[in-house]
A = this chain, B = another copy of it.
Amino acid sequence: MLNESVVALGKKRSTIRELFEFGNQRAAVVGRENILDFSLGNPNVPAPEAVKQAILETLDTEDPAVTHGYTSAQGADFVRETIAQDLNRRFGTQYGGRNLYMTVGAAAALSICFKALTASPDDEFLVLAPYFPEYLVFIGEGAGAKPVIVPARNEDFQIDFDALDQRINEHTKAVVVNSPNNPSGAVYSEDTVRRLAELLTQRSQQYGHPIYLISDEPYRELVYDADTVVPFLPKYYDNTLVCYSYSKSLSLPGERIGYVLVPDSVQDFADMYAAVCGAGRVLGYVNAPSLFQRVAAKCTGLTSDLSVYKKNRDLLYEALTSYGYQCVKPRGAFYIFPQTLGIDDYKFCEMAKKYDLLVVPGTDFGAPGYMRISYCVKTETVERALPIFEKLAKEVLG
């Protein structure tokens, strides 16, 4: 009598959320400080002081009936205009408020794009492994379309173009990309992006309709090496929709604030923007949280102190490879994605749980034999975990 698939999704939380809850329960028993929790992308670095100042300034200077009141469904005009100007400054674009639709975080932004683009249950969205597992839920149960998984190119987690091309057909509605990537930490090179744009342009022409690129980029600002540049996808491919969130850059994941960027270059711009608005309405979003719309505008261009993530990445990469873990060096986001020493990844993660060390099996991201380590934690937590990773390597490798 109930929607059985959502009952099942409600009972079987994502493995990540399951580990998060397990961690909470164990913390109550052994103390939070004894849980080596690398399961969730919940930034440990606090929001910058500017976030607090933005809140205080708003509360002190604005009429609360305005601050906490409804905004236009697409977001307050000045908020969208401010964010557009920041994008223009950084990327040499010419956006205005007309191109932005404020959302309740990136999950909402993605859900809205999938809903906006789904015209038939036969529509397919291509998802590149390794991927954020909720994509499959939003596409399938959420929008009523079909997620199609493209296998990973494991040597560097760039795109396996043959595998991608094989899966493009007349039902392909969009390709979802996420660079810097959760869970691999890979950042697509400019060469990868150019090839992707070329392929999608060709196949759009061949099938007589646009194949959209949905760029999920909450980690846009999280890169750690001077030579790592994150190409801005709308500059390479016209039919790109960008889904952004301040969850990671400003350490505000619980506040649920982000946006969809619909560039003017998108085919039938007015219809596409309307579809985004309509999908937001249909899914019950009303408007993105109003106080944090203001915070996003006031803090635009800022980030939390990201230096700890670079330090954690370097520590983990050096140590894990020295213990014998096979690993692609992550270039961005705050995840590292090593292989589980040749054994089953669920088994490995269960072994780790015995030491209250929480890491997520790669199978959940479409990559069996790997594990995701979220290093958005205190460096001390990394340092305490390293001997356990070493011990696990010895247990497995003998």
Chain B residues near A209: list those with CB within 8 A.
1
CA distance A307 to B64 in the complex (A): 18
Counted per complex, copies of this chain come to 2
User: Is B73's CB under 8 angstroms from A13's CB?
Assistant: yes
Chain B residues near A10: list those with CB within 8 A.
273-279, 281
The chain B residue sitting closest to A288, CB to CB, is B256
User: Is B254's CB under 8 angstroms from A70's CB?
Assistant: yes
The chain B residue sitting closest to A48, CB to CB, is B64
User: Is B283's CB under 8 angstroms from A68's CB?
Assistant: no
| Known A-B contacts A282-B141, A282-B142; A275 and B7 likewise in contact (beta carbons under 8 Å) | yes
Encode A267-296 as 1/0 by CB contact (under 8 A) with B. 010011111111101111111111110000
Q: Could you list some 19 contacts between A and B, CB below 8 A?
A: A1-B209, A3-B118, A6-B275, A6-B278, A10-B273, A10-B276, A10-B278, A10-B281, A14-B281, A17-B72, A42-B69, A43-B65, A55-B59, A64-B251, A107-B286, A110-B284, A111-B284, A254-B289, A256-B288
The chain B residue sitting closest to A294, CB to CB, is B254
CA distance A209 to B2 in the complex (A): 11
The answer to whether the Cβ of A63 comes within 8 Å of any Cβ in the partner chain is yes
The chain B residue sitting closest to A277, CB to CB, is B10
The answer to whether the Cβ of A105 comes within 8 Å of any Cβ in the partner chain is yes
Chain B residues near A284: list those with CB within 8 A.
104-105, 107-108, 110-112, 134, 138, 142, 283
| Known A-B contacts A13-B73, A278-B6; A59 and B52 likewise in contact (beta carbons under 8 Å) | yes
User: Is A8's CB under 8 angstroms from B287's CB?
Assistant: no
CA distance A116 to B141 in the complex (A): 11
- Given contacts A20-B70, A42-B65, 13 further A-B pairs with CB under 8 A are A1-B117, A9-B281, A10-B279, A43-B65, A44-B65, A47-B68, A69-B251, A69-B253, A104-B256, A105-B284, A255-B291, A283-B283, A291-B291
The answer to whether the Cβ of A252 comes within 8 Å of any Cβ in the partner chain is yes
User: Is A117's CB under 8 angstroms from B2's CB?
Assistant: yes
CA distance A188 to B73 in the complex (A): 31
CA distance A65 to B52 in the complex (A): 12
The answer to whether the Cβ of A51 comes within 8 Å of any Cβ in the partner chain is yes
| Known A-B contacts A251-B64, A285-B104; A6 and B69 likewise in contact (beta carbons under 8 Å) | no
Chain B residues near A111: list those with CB within 8 A.
283-284
The answer to whether the Cβ of A229 comes within 8 Å of any Cβ in the partner chain is no
User: Is A281's CB under 8 angstroms from B2's CB?
Assistant: no
The chain B residue sitting closest to A252, CB to CB, is B68
